[in-house]
Chain A
Amino acid sequence: MIYADNAATTKACPAAQQAMLDGMERFWGNPSSLHSPGQQAREALQTARETVARAIGAQPGDIYFTSGGSEADNQAIASAAKIGARKGKKHLITTAIEHHAVLHTMEQLSKEGYDITLLPVDGSGIVKVEDVAAAIREDTALVSVMYANNEIGTIQPVAEIGALCREKGVPFHTDAVQAVGHLPIDVTAQNIDMLSLSGHKFHGPRGVGALYVRRGAPLFPLIHGGAQERGLRAGTENLPAILGMAAALDDAVTHMAENNVYVSSLRDTLIEKLSAIPHAALNGDRERRLPGNVSFCFEGIEGESLLLLLDDKGVAASSGSACTSGSLDPSHVLLAIGRPHEVAHGSLRLSLDRDNTMEDVESIAQATAEVVNYLRDMSPVWKSLQRGERSYVIQ
């Protein structure tokens, strides 16, 4: 099986697996305990915090471990909203292509009386800095813009937005779940006030993540209880997962430059090969995209059947079609970049990684071309396109 769904999750790397075992074998004490096993666990926790902080240019004291990216997003946004409301600021800005962890949190706040601005993106999925500037008001409590998109891989102008928000005095959060461990990040230089990350997107374990919060920025707990994480995230720390995440992140950051050269060469080759399929279009920006992200729409077919047949051919991929999500509408991201519904249903995401090879790319491209042709042959939509009864959306 060729695994090309690394944006969904990654396999824990050997360093992460070993660190997790250590977390259970050696550092099984409770970091809150005063005895030696507890204190050893506490030291391991502190080392992990330093590792995670270093990977994004932060201070260890600004890292809060969470259960994952979703919790980090929820806590960041809820905290900014709460402190904003105290100052009479109940306006939040985000984008139309955020992960649901951000969008649904915003929707909930909207029901609670907050005013939400959803910024549009251009055809390649990029948010315009001018649009952020124009949306900021006197009562804006937060700007939240994702670092890189999980579906189409587009990288946002985070440093520019960070500088703008700092100048305007508005807190800036970024959901960097897809970016951390894959792109160089420096929260200080990029003026990021809050950043969410998730362990299993860079070969660490799932069920663990972190929220970076710049010192001085307000944070409130979502989970109340013990004094863990400086009283801002109760619950005995999931140390095996935290250690696994730190080990994976250290490994990812250490080899980031070489990994990116390699993975982006795989990506570019795959994009080139899939572009040869007629009436296929790349989703997202050609240049400003995650090293491993390949996202396409194929006209005249539906994504779920494409995925299932690719799976039969030994390729594990993903799609933004409605059918794969269990919802009735296709991906909000593909709709936001202007893909009509019928084309958005025919989307395919292949997310490559350092474990993939050029042979994988060859096989993926061949399997995709075969499956697309097969499905088009039985598609009444494709037939009517070919007969000229309807016009192609993708030329």
Chain B
Amino acid sequence: MLYSEKVMDHFRNPRNVGEIADADGVGEVGNAKCGDIMKMYLKIEDGIIVDVKFETFGCGSAIATSSMATELIKGKRVDEALSLTNQAVVEALDGLPAHKIHCSVLAEEAVRAAIKDYYDKNGIAYEPEQFCSGDCSCCHEHDHHGE
């Protein structure tokens, strides 16, 4: 199998799919041209992520990493969620094929983009370099290797 059982489980039965109409933070990363876009919605109360939903356009691992990322941050404090790494997502999924690692990077960035949106909306100060500029590493990868 290309994917671990965990990946297939999260792909087949993705957790937290959908949108939150009155979300406190929304982040969208990726690029349709690259073949994956992730959109993350956060509901935050007292600095705790009380609900999270995602929508993803992408391959099996893009859907699975989104799903796992939502599981990993649900119920966590915002600053804890901000420290979520793509490596943690990969490990929680029992690994990803090398050419799919960028999906986990996208999942991490989707979470961060949603948190940044929450900070922006609520006037919470942060260091700009904490967040990526919005164009994901996936797309840089495409720029370099595109033929």
* Chain A residues within CB distance 8 Å of chain B: 300-305, 308-309, 312, 321-324, 326, 328-330, 340-342, 345, 378-383
| A308 pairs with B146, CB closer than 8 A | no
> Does the CB pair B14–A328 fall under 8 Å?
no
Does any Cβ of A come within 8 Å of B32's Cβ? yes
The interface residues of chain A, by DSSP majority, are classed as helix
For window 2-42 of chain B, which residues contact chain A by CB distance below 8 Å? 8, 11-12, 14, 17-19, 28, 32-39
Asked if B35 and A330 make an inter-chain contact with CB atoms under 8 angstroms apart, the answer reads yes
CA distance A382 to B37 in the complex (A): 11
A380 in complex: contacting residue of B28, B61, B141, CB < 8 Å: B28
* A379 proximity list for chain B (CB < 8 A): 37, 55-57
Q: Which residue of B lies closest to A300 (CB)?
A: B57
Residue among A312, A322, A378 making CB contact with B35, cutoff 8 Å: A322
Residue of A nearest to B139 (CB): A328
Interface residue? B145 (CB, 8 A)? yes
Closest to B28 in A: A380
Task: Identify A378's interface contact among B14, B100, B145, CB under 8 A.
Answer: B14
* Closest residue of B by beta carbon distance from A324: B59
Q: Which residues of B contact A (CB under 8 A)?
A: 8, 11-12, 14, 17-19, 28, 32-39, 55-63, 99-100, 141-142, 145-147
Chain B residues closer than 8 Å to A301, beta-carbon distance: 57
* Chain B residues near A322 (CB-CB < 8 A): 34-35
Q: Are B39 and A329 in contact (CB under 8 A)?
A: no
Contact A305 B145 (CB under 8 A): no
A253 to B12, CA, bound (A): 42
Q: Which residues of B contact A305 (CB under 8 A)?
A: 11, 58-60, 62-63
Asked whether, in the complex, the Cβ of A342 is within 8 Å of the Cβ of B17, the reply is no
Q: Chain A CB within 10 Å — which of B56, B57, B61, B63 has the most?
A: B57
A329 near B57 (CB under 8 angstroms)?
A: no
- B55 A302 Cβ-Cβ under 8 A: no
| Bound CA span A321–B33, Å | 11
Given known pairs A328-B142, A380-B28, the reply for A323 and B35 (CB within 8 Å) is yes
- What is the distance, in angstroms, from B127's C-beta to the closest C-beta of chain A? 28
Residue contact B35 to A380, C-beta cutoff 8 Å: no
B18 and chain A: residue at smallest CB distance: A378
* Contact B57 A321, beta carbon cutoff 8 Å: no
A341-B32 in contact (CB<8A): yes
A304 and B3 alpha carbons, distance in the complex (Å): 12
CB proximity of B13 to chain A, nearest CB, Å: 11
Do A302 and B11 have beta carbons less than 8 Å apart? no
Give the complex CA separation of A334 and B75 in angstroms. 44
Flag if A382 contacts B99 (CB, 8 Å). Answer: no
C-alpha spacing A130/B135, complex, angstroms = 43
Shortest distance between the CB of A74 and any CB in chain B (Å)? 20
User: What is the CB-to-nearest-CB distance from B47 to chain A, in angstroms, rounded to a whole number?
Assistant: 26
- CB-CB under 8 A from B18, the residues of chain A are 378
Could you jot down 29 A-B contacts, CB within 8 Å? A302-B58, A302-B59, A302-B62, A304-B60, A305-B62, A305-B63, A308-B8, A308-B11, A308-B60, A309-B12, A312-B12, A321-B59, A322-B35, A326-B99, A328-B142, A329-B146, A330-B35, A340-B33, A341-B32, A341-B35, A342-B32, A342-B33, A378-B14, A379-B55, A380-B28, A380-B37, A380-B39, A381-B37, A383-B55
Task: Name the residue in B19, B32, B34, B145 with the highest tally of chain A Cβ atoms < 10 Å from its Cβ.
Answer: B32
**Which of B33, B141, B146: most chain A Cβ within 10 A?**
B33
Asked if A378 and B62 sit within 8 Å, CB to CB, the answer is no
Cα of A379 to Cα of B58 in the assembled complex, Å: 8
* A-side contacts of B62, CB under 8 Å: 302, 305
Chain B positions within 8 Å of A312 at CB level:
12
Separation in Å of the A273 CB from the closest CB of chain B? 24
User: Nearest Cβ distance between residue B3 and chain A, in whole angstroms?
Assistant: 8
**How many Å lie between the Cα of A362 and that of B61 in the bound state?**
29
Residues of A within 8 A of B17 (CB): 378
How far is it, in angstroms, between the C-alpha of A324 and the C-alpha of B57 when the chains are bound?
Answer: 15
* Least CB distance, A378 to chain B, in whole angstroms: 5
- For the complex with contacts A302-B62, A330-B35, A378-B18, 4 further pairs of A-B residues with Cβ separation under 8 Å are A305-B58, A322-B34, A323-B58, A340-B33
Bound CA–CA A345/B60 (angstroms): 13
* Distance to closest chain A CB from B70 (angstroms): 12
Min Cβ gap B144→A in Å is 9
Complex Cα–Cα for A304 and B142 (A): 18
CB of A329 within 8 A of CB of B142, answer yes
| C-alpha spacing A300/B32, complex, angstroms | 9
Cα–Cα distance between A129 and B16 once the two chains are bound (Å)? 54
Shortest distance between the CB of A329 and any CB in chain B (Å): 6
Residues in chain B near residue A302, CB distance under 8 A: 35-36, 57-59, 62
- Most chain-A CB neighbours within 10 Å: which of B35, B39, B100, B145? B35
Q: A328-B141, A329-B146, A380-B37 given as contacts; is B59 within 8 A of A323 (CB)? A: yes
Q: Bound state CA distance, A304 and B11, in angstroms?
A: 11
Q: In the complex, which residue of chain A has the Cβ closest to the Cβ of B35?
A: A345
